[in-house]
Chains A and B, each alone.
Chain A
Amino acid sequence: MKKTLVFALIVLAVAGLNASTKFKMELWNRWTMETVDGDIVENELAVKRGYFRLEPQFSSNIKGRFNLDFFSDDGAADGVGMKLKYAYLDFAVLPITDSKLTIGLMKTYFGTIYDWDYQVIEKDPSDKYKFVSSTDYGIGISGYFPSGFGTYNFAAYNGEGYKKTGSDINKDLNFAADVRITPMVGVTLGGSYYFMTKNNAEVDTTLAGNGPLVDNPAREQYNMFAGMGKLAFGDFSLLGQYLMKTKSLPNVDGADDINTTVMSFMPKYKINNSFDVIGRYDMYDPNTDNDDDAYNVLVVGLNYNVVRDSKNNPTLFFQLNYETTMYEDSDKDPVNQIMLQMRWIFSEVLGS
């Protein structure tokens, strides 16, 4: 009840205060069936996501985005949940053409997580393999290079993402840098770097909580790199990514670094304006020093775009995906999933 009231108040406030506000709703209705060794372990119908978005245009150079993320499935407490996903303002006030300053709960500029459009139902690799959270509280500068040459993004973040809880609050700032270039038609290359320190550098370890602050030995430091390349020729495209994460414990003498790697390929073929066939193959190794913890994920999918808007963006489409996870550990059976998802989107601009 309280949530509904807050939500209604926000909608009314934003709609009432701004002459031009874009409303958008996107829903993902999904059926999932998961099998292991021939046994059905999950068979679920759910609303996996319901995004409600408001984009108020305060002036020609100040624009906001506010996103509520609803979900209704058996993975959430009480079977339903709501989170604030985006809450930021873009200020196009910098003395650089095609640039903006962003402040608030914003996109995380790493790899392809910030423009992942779910051509397959599965998440972006950085998101799926827990490199970074898709959004975080921060401040950043983004822009376009001239002549369609590419984009750049630099940002500083809180570091705990948008699903923070009391114990997760991170006092250390995190930093991201991301550059993508398109030197010629159909060829895009990009690289990202993310520096993260997790948890506070110092803690009070006394029971009474009034002792001196001392070094926190559990403090974690992450250096993350992402390289991406995309080729697009005619109706065919291929996206490739390589992610690398090094986790260190700088306050613990002799602690070994842990290296995590992901390699992902995603080919796509557009049969016509209605149908796309898509594949994806991920190779994930959470610790390159271990021999039995890696796994590979294969996805085969078909997208059926039923309705598109005037700018050819799909507004109603079906996604059929088969996903299988194959483990390096020979004792583990592959996990197979069939997912059928119906995504539908509607939007309206109110005011002038």
Chain B
Amino acid sequence: MKKLLFVIMMIAAMVAFAKKGDQITMVGSTTVLPIAQATAEAFMEMNPDMNISVRGGGSGVGVAGIIAGTCDIGNASRHIKNKELLQAKQNGVEAYENVVANDGIAVIVHKSNPVKDLTIDQLQKIYTGEIMNWKEVGGPSMPIVLVSRDVSSGTYETFETKVLKKEKLAASSLMLASNNAVATTVKDTKGAVGYVGIGYLSDNVNDVRINGITVSEKTIQDRTYPIARTLHMYTKGKPEGKVKKYIDFVLSPKGQAIVEEMGFVKVSK
């Protein structure tokens, strides 16, 4: 009996303290997800002994993973909030921000919609329900169908900060769980307006100039495009060991080329 108990305790201890080996776990932003997946694949090809697991969930999940110490890298399409930063510090974790790419949130409309320009002010009025018809912004007489990201996404939080500016999103908005879903819905709905990361722009929809500025690599990098943001991979303290090796790869010319392939904008040196 004693021996059995000893064996059980030993197994429990081994499970509890088992080392993960050369494994990196990444969770978080669905916007950063394609970058994370593509760079992880390329990195694992170069380092066959490494195993990187990548999961979405949203920026909040990525930051929570770093605070709780349940992942090595927490992806976020927004900056860590003051409240989260405090939680991390109180938990003995330094949430270290690694900027890995730039992104612009493109405002998109249906291919048949002639509206090419909107101001931030007009966009705010559209998304708060004050402007409800395209004719009020120089388009045809057609009801506006609002398409938005769900409130837990980093894309929504950036849009809320830079466009809604504390005003409440119209209750009629369709809240969708991914950039792809937004792009597809706008493609299929005549009066729709939506917003997606620049990586999700395609010929299937029209992008709209904001305050007269077209979303592009140049306008995002020089910060003239008004709905731009940086994308982040948060780590527990300054990256070290295998995590540093991977982050260094993402920031290398090869990693940044992948960032561009995914439709995002590389980090300017």
Please list the residues of chain A having a beta carbon within 8 angstroms of any beta carbon in chain B. 19-20, 59-61, 97-98, 144, 146-151, 182, 184-186, 188, 230-235, 237, 271-273, 275, 310-313, 351-352
Contacts and interface: CB of A to CB of B under 8 A. Distances in A.
B68 A312 contact: yes
User: Which of B58, B68, B86, B94 has the largest count of A CB atoms less than 10 A from its CB?
Assistant: B86
**Secondary structure at chain A's binding surface: helix, strand, loop or mixed?**
loop
B198 to A, nearest CB: 25
B82 A188 contact: no
A63 to B, nearest CB: 12
A185 B96 CA distance: 12
B52 interface: no
A311 B166 contact: no
Contacts, number: 79
B92 A146 contact: no
B83 A144 contact: yes
A234 B92 contact: yes
B57 interface: yes
B61 A311 contact: yes
Contact of A59 (B16, B68, B168): B168
B255 to A, nearest CB: 27
B64 A60 contact: no
Closest 6 CB pairs of A and B: A148-B85, A232-B92, A186-B92, A311-B64, A148-B86, A312-B68
Contact of A188 (B68, B90, B94): B90
A198 B189 CA distance: 64
Interface in B147-200: 151, 160, 164, 166-169, 171, 173, 175
B83 A98 contact: yes
Contacts of B17: 272
B219 interface: no
Contacts of A151: 86
A231 B89 CA distance: 10
A351 B168 CA distance: 13
Nearest to A144: B82
A188 B150 CA distance: 34
Contact of A352 (B65, B164, B171): B171
B171 A61 contact: no
B91 interface: yes
Contacts of A97: 82
Contacts of A148: 82, 84-86, 88-89
A165 to B, nearest CB: 37
B23 interface: no
A249 to B, nearest CB: 39
User: Which of B58, B65, B82 has the largest count of A CB atoms less than 10 A from its CB?
Assistant: B82
B93 interface: yes
